[in-house]
Amino acid sequence: MKPLNSTEALAVVEESLAQIVPDADFTRVRPGDKFRDVLELDSLDFLSLVEILSERTGVRIEEDDYPELTTLADSTQFLVARTGQGPLGP
């Protein structure tokens, strides 16, 4: 698992969301917005996002972690921490 900084983690989140919602307009999504609402993701879309993020980063994402994946800022922070660059690292 490669440690990610916040710029890399944000890119991974946005690229992963773009796989699920190819026409996603990220100019509409501010860092603190709940992207599920803004991009109109349903539960299956969100589970696909979790799977893609896990595959791309090597981070195991449990159901208990889902609340940490609601905004771009939270998702970025979660990935940085879980890949070893932040306070929640290994």
pLDDT of 87 > 80? The answer is no
pLDDT tier at 28, thresholds 50, 70, 90: confident
Domain ranges of the chain: 6-82
Tell me how far CA of residue 9 lies from CA of 21, 27, 42, 43, 44, in angstroms: 18, 17, 22, 22, 22
Taking the model in full, what pTM does it have? 0.88
The CATH homologous superfamily to which domain 6-82 belongs is ACP-like (1.10.1200.10)
Please give the structure tokens belonging to residue 41: 């993701």
